[in-house]
C-alpha cells in the first residue's frame, strides 16, 4: 500500500523539473495525480510516462496567473474525481535582473506567477474542500530565496518571501476547516530553471557549490519524500511550517 492511497493530488507546473518529479512520486504512493500547466501536450507526454499503480495521471490546462483558467481547471478536476485532497503549488519562474533595470512587466509576471498563482489555486481548491467538508493539504513550493536576500532577485525573493507569509496566514485561517498549509523551500535543484540561467550567464554553478555545505546542487527526487510526508496521514499536526531542504544553505553562517 502506498502512503497516499486513494488521494487526488493536483500539481501545478508539472510538465518538467520538480513538478514532474512530484507527480511521479505521488503516483507511486497510490495517489491519482492531476498535472496542471500551460503546455498541454508536454503534460500529456509526462502523464504517459507515469504509471500509477492505482488511480491515474491526468493532464489539465491551467495558467496559474489567470483566475478564469484556474477556476475552470479546478471545476474540471472536481467533476472528474468528486474531490481534491492535495494541492501542490509548484509552478514558478525565475527572474534575475539588476533592480534598477527590472522592467515592470517582468516584475509583474514574477509576482503574478509565483505569488498570485499560489493564492488563486489555494483559494479555488480550499473552497472545494470546504464545500465538501473534507480535510485537505496544500503544499507551496517556496525557495531558500524567500529567506536569503540575493542581489538582482528583487521580484523572485519578494515573491517567495510572500509565499512563506501566505502559507502561514492560510494555515492559521483554515486550520479549523481541517486544511493544512505548509511550504517546502528548496535550495538550488538540477532543473531547466537553473539550466537556463546558467546558459544565459546569470548563474555560476561552481561558485554556488562553494556556498552550499554539501558542495553540490540538489536533485528534484530529494524533495519529493518531504512532500509525501506533508501530504500523508502522519503529518496531521503539521501546518504553517516552512521547511528548508537545501544541503545546508540556510544553516551556513558565512557568505
Ligand atoms: P522549471 O522551470 O523546470 O518548471 C517550472 C514549471 O512551471 C513548468 O512546468 C512550467 O511550465 C510551469 N509554469 C510556469 N509558469 C506557469 C504558469 N503561469 N501557469 C502554469 N504553469 C506554469 O522549474 P523547477 O521545476 O526548477 O521549479 C519548480 C518550483 O521550484 C518553482 O516554484 C521554483 O521557484 C521552485 N524552486 C526551484 C529551485 C531550483 O533551483 N530549480 C530552487 C528553489 C525553488 P510551462 O512554462 O510549460 O507553463
Would residue 35 count as lying in a domain? yes
- The finding on whether 191 has its CB within 6 A of some atom of ligand 1 is yes
Region 169-196: mean pLDDT is 96
In this structure, which residue's CA is closest to atom 11 in ligand 1?
A: 13
In the chain, the percentage of residues whose pLDDT exceeds 70 is: 100
All cell numbers assigned to 229: 510526508
The tally of CA atoms less than 13 A away on the side-chain side of residue 230 is 27
Would residue 178 count as lying in a domain? yes
Q: Which residue, among 166, 201, 195, 205, has the nearest Cα to 183 in the 3D structure?
A: 166
All cell numbers assigned to 217: 546542487
Longest dimension (CA), the chain: 54
- Residue 103 buriedness (CB in 10 A; 0-12 / 13-18 / 19+): exposed
Please give, one letter per residue, the 3-state secondary structure of the chain: CCCCCCCEEEEECCCCHHHHHHHHHHHHCCCEEEEEECCHHHHHHHHHHCCCCCCCEEEEECCCCCHHHHHHHHHHHHHHHCCCCEEEECCCCCCCCCHHHCCHHHHHHHHHHHHHHHHHHHHHHHHHHHHCCCCEEEEEECCHHHCCCCCCCHHHHHHHHHHHHHHHHHHHHHHHHCEEEEEEEECCECCHHHHHHHHCCCCCHHHHHHHCCCCCCECCHHHHHHHHHHHCCCCCCCCCCEEEECCCCCCCCCC
Would residue 253 count as lying in a domain? no
Structural domain boundaries enclosing 150: 8-244
Catalytic residue set: 156
All cell numbers assigned to 212: 552550499
The Å distance, Cα 17 to ligand 1 centre, comes to 7
- The finding on whether 141 has its CB within 6 A of some atom of ligand 1 is yes
Predicted local confidence at residue 79, as pLDDT: 97
All cell numbers assigned to 153: 532577485
- The finding on whether 183 has its CB within 6 A of some atom of ligand 1 is no
The Å distance, Cα 19 to ligand 1 centre, comes to 7
Predicted local confidence at residue 6, as pLDDT: 95
Region 197-220: mean pLDDT is 93
Whether this prediction's pTM lies above 0.85 is answered by yes
- The finding on whether 188 has its CB within 6 A of some atom of ligand 1 is yes
Predicted local confidence at residue 255, as pLDDT: 63
Question: What CA–CA distance (Å, rounded) separates 68 from 39?
Answer: 17
- The finding on whether 136 has its CB within 6 A of some atom of ligand 1 is no
The confidence band for 158, taking pLDDT boundaries of 50, 70 and 90, is: very high
Condensed to tens digits (0 to 9), the pLDDT of residues 18-44 reads 999 999 999 999 999 999 999 999 999
- The finding on whether 192 has its CB within 6 A of some atom of ligand 1 is yes
Question: Taking CA 139 as the corner, what is the angle to CA 21 and CA 136, rounded to the nearest 5 degrees?
Answer: 115
Region 71-79: mean pLDDT is 98
Domains of the chain: total: 1
pLDDT at 52 over 90: no
Would residue 78 count as lying in a domain? yes
Would residue 157 count as lying in a domain? yes
Would residue 72 count as lying in a domain? yes
The number of the ligand 1 atom at minimal distance from the alpha carbon of 113 is 18
In this structure, which residue's CA is closest to atom 19 in ligand 1?
A: 63
The confidence band for 97, taking pLDDT boundaries of 50, 70 and 90, is: very high
Would residue 3 count as lying in a domain? no
Give the strand pairing for 136-141 and 86-89.
Answer: parallel
The Å distance, Cα 233 to ligand 1 centre, comes to 27
The Å distance, Cα 1 to ligand 1 centre, comes to 30
Read off the CATH number of the domain in which 183 is found. Answer: 3.40.50.720
Would residue 1 count as lying in a domain? no
Amino acid at each position: 500500500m502506498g502512503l497516499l492511497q486513494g488521494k487526488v493530488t493536483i500539481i501545478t507546473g508539472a510538465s518538467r523539473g520538480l513538478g514532474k518529479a512530484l507527480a511521479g512520486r505521488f503516483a507511486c504512493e497510490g495517489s491519482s495525480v492531476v498535472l496542471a500547466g500551460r503546455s498541454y501536450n508536454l503534460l500529456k507526454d509526462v502523464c504517459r510516462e507515469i504509471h500509477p499503480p492505482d488511480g491515474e495521471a491526468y493532464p489539465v490546462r491551467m495558467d496559474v496567473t489567470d483566475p478564469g483558467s484556474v477556476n475552470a481547471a479546478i471545476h474540471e478536476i472536481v467533476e472528474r474525481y468528486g474531490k481534491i485532497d492535495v494541492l501542490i503549488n509548484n509552478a514558478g519562474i525565475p527572474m534575475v535582473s539588476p533592480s534598477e533595470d527590472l522592467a515592470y512587466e517582468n516584475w509583474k509576471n514574477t509576482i503574478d506567477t509565483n505569488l498570485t498563482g499560489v493564492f488563486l489555486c489555494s483559494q479555488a481548491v480550499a473552497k472545494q474542500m470546504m464545500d465538501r467538508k473534507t480535510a485537505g493539504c496544500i503544499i507551496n513550493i517556496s525557495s531558500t530565496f524567500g529567506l536569503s536576500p540575493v542581489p538582482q532577485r528583487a521580484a523572485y525573493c519578494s515573491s517567495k518571501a510572500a509565499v512563506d507569509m501566505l502559507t502561514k496566514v492560510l494555515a492559521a485561517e483554515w486550520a479549523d476547516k481541517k486544511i493544512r498549509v505548509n511550504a517546502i523551500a528548496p535550495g538550488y535543484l538540477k532543473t531547466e530553471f537553473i539550466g537556463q540561467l546558467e546558459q544565459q550567464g546569470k548563474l555560476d554553478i561552481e561558485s554556488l557549490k562553494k556556498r552550499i555545505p554539501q558542495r553540490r546542487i540538489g536533485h528534484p527526487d530529494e524533495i519529493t519524500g518531504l512532500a509525501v510526508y506533508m501530504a500523508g496521514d502522519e503529518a496531521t499536526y503539521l501546518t504553517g511550517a516552512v521547511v528548508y531542504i537545501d544541503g545546508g544553505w540556510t544553516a551556513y553562517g558565512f557568505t
